[in-house]
């Protein structure tokens, strides 16, 4: 599926979209986000995830992660870089995720929501291909990712800042894409990098995951 995206969202705007309580939702590394209309694997993308402060205290975080998952057990990052002969890990099929050694271990506690303005699908026209941009049709109405996992709960809105949130970003609503992430520690022990994969699944289920 998606191998290209568009991103204009700033870290601050992502934080408002992520919702929660402004005091609880932090950003991390969002200065690495760049406006791009042709965003691909290896670029930084905004990820909304839940952080366990303690057993009882959960907080929400918007974190810039690189697109393309490197599992924590990887010996070399290249082994999970499809463009260097490794496994292709910037997309995942949801149908088989539960029976995959690679994905299964991430399904419970490494879920996230990835924010994109939209993504491209390539339509074949005989010998050439034409990019079709896919995004939400509607304008952004201040909808935020809810805290509750209950599906029957009404979507929450940011009553006070709905107007403000339209100021510094695109008018249309962002896409909420389901993702899995992991944290990979380099063998030399110095660096830590995070990476994610997009997991293709319906929006309704994405929201229940948050």
Partner DNA sequence: CCAGACGTTGTT
Partner DNA sequence: GTCTGG
Contact residues for DNA, defined by CB under 7 A: 1, 3-4, 38, 40-43, 71, 73-74, 79, 82-83, 86-89, 91-93, 96-97, 100-103, 105, 120-122, 124, 129, 131, 200
| C-alpha distances in Å from residue 159, one per residue of 139, 142, 143, 147, 191 | 16, 8, 9, 16, 41
Q: Given the complex with DNA, which of 56 and 108 has the nearer CB atom?
A: 108
Q: Which is nearer to DNA, 68 or 169 (CB)?
A: 68
Categorise residue 126: left if φ over 0, alpha if ψ from -120 to 50, beta otherwise: left
Q: Are 111 and 180 in contact (CB under 8 A)?
A: yes
Question: Residue 19: which of 115, 141, 144, 113 has the closest Cα?
Answer: 144
The neighbouring-strand residues paired with 181 are 196
Smallest gap, in angstroms, from Cβ of residue 79 to DNA? 6
Nearer residue to DNA within complex by CB, 80 or 140: 80
Strand extents, DSSP E, 53-117? 58-67, 91-93, 111-116
Report, in Å, the least distance between residue 120 CB and DNA. 7
User: At closest approach, how far in Å is the CB of 72 from DNA?
Assistant: 7
CB of 76 vs DNA, minimal distance in Å: 10
* Closer residue to DNA, CB minimum distance, 89 or 165: 89
Please identify, using beta-carbon distances, which residue of 24 and 111 lies nearer to DNA: 111
Strand partners, 147: none
We find the least distance from the C-beta atom of residue 68 to DNA, in angstroms, to be 8
């Amino acid at each position: 599926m998606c191998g290209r995206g568009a991103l204009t969202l700033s870290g601050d705007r992502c934080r408002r979209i992520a919702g929660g309580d402004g005091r609880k939702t932090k950003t991390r590394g969002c200065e690495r986000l760049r406006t791009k209309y042709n965003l691909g694997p290896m670029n930084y993308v905004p990820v909304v995830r839940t952080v366990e402060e303690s057993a009882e205290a959960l907080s929400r975080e918007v974190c810039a992660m690189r697109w393309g998952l490197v599992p924590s057990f990887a010996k070399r990052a290249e082994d999970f870089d499809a463009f260097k002969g490794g496994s292709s890990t910037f997309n995942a099929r949801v149908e088989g995720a539960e029976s995959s050694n690679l994905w299964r271990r991430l399904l419970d506690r490494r879920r996230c929501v990835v924010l994109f303005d939209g993504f491209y699908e390539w339509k074949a026209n005989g010998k050439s291909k034409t990019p079709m941009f896919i995004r939400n049709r509607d304008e952004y109405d201040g909808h935020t990712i809810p805290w509750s996992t209950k599906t029957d709960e009404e979507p929450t809105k940011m009553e006070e800042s709905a107007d403000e949130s339209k100021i510094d970003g695109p008018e249309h609503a962002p896409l909420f894409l389901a993702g899995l992430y992991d944290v990979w520690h380099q063998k030399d022990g110095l660096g830590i990098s995070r990476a994610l994969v997009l997991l293709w699944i319906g929006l309704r289920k994405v929201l229940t995951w948050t």
